[in-house]
Amino acid sequence: MLKGIFLIVGAATCWGMGGVAGQYLFQYHEVDSFWLCMARQILAGLLFLLYAALVQKQDIFAIIKKNTWDIVEFSFLGILGAQLGFYYTISLCNAATATVLQYMAPIFVMVWMSYKARRCPEGRELIGIVGALLGVFLIATHGSLDSLAISPIALFVGILSALSYAYYSIKPGELLKKYTAPTLIGWGQLISGLSLIAVSNPFAPVGTWNMSAYLAFIYLLFGATIASYAFYLAGLKIVGPTKASLISCAEPLASIISVVLLLDTKLLLPDYIGMGCIIFTVLLLSLPKK
């Protein structure tokens, strides 16, 4: 069990540090968020598909032939919206805020499930909605109705990213019964990444690139994508989905601590309270019902 907990914490930390690596590239090397997302998704998609084909011995083209529209829909509404929205939000504010805003996804999943069941949210679900709204209010306004503490576009894109992440969590249910996760994620990453070629040249990286910038990008590809995925799946087998979802709340905590300590990002007390409200809400909704 301890090994499983460490694996899930490792996965969450890798994910959280991925946002920090992105902020580092935006803040110190003026890298374009569209180019970064495109390059990362194309390379990660190819790596996932190679793993599915060579290690898992999967027919990676079956999903393209039989579920064409499903994989295209998942690629654009799920992966592209979540990933591009996340990194674009970071470029507009900071990794901690972007991570916590995207962590509102379970709230949207809960609202959707309530709608499907034709019932109103009740009990801790209502507490969760109120807590999430309070958290976003504090992050966006710092408690003052006179002005916004972050730009309206950052808030808007951050919430859109959470909506896409919620879709990303719901959509694959049926597909994962027929195809392995690396096959599904691989095609989703690759297709969404290739679509960004329309707005960014993959062979003309924007920004100032030196060894530290390349190392940050390599971490985004292998640490925040491949390693985090491998750690999470390995830990999930040991601790189960409920504990895994609870422990995964270490991701925004890792992001908050890292941007403050490593990138000298200034967060105020209302930011911490607002982020705490959203993290508490996710923890509350992750607990199993009696």
| Integer Cα distance of 8 and 230 in angstroms | 10
36 C-beta neighbours (distance < 10 Å), count: 29
Give the pLDDT of residue 257: 85
Single-letter residue type at 177: K
> From CA 99, how far away is CA 251, in angstroms rounded?
8
pLDDT of residue 242: 62
Which DSSP string corresponds to 98-149? Answer: HHHHHTTHHHHHHHHHHHHTT----THHHHHHHHHHHHHHHHHHTT-SSS-S
- pLDDT tens-place string over residues 128-145: 778 888 888 888 888 776
Residue 124: its pLDDT value, please? 76
3-state SS class at 245: helix
The answer to whether the beta carbons of residues 34 and 84 sit under 8 Å apart is yes
Which residues in the chain come in under a pLDDT of 50? Answer: none
Give the pLDDT score at 9. 84
Place of tokens 């290690």: 55
How is residue 235 written in tokens?
């830990």
What's the one-letter identity of residue 53?
A
pTM: 0.86
Question: Angle 152-170/81-92 helices, nearest 10 degrees?
Answer: 160
DSSP 35-102: HHHHHHHHHHHHHHHHHHHHTS---TTHHHHHSHHHHHHIIIIIIIHHHHHHHHHHHHS-HHHHHHHH
pLDDT at 105: 81
Query: Hey, what amino acid is at 18?
Result: G
Identify the pLDDT of residue 145. 67
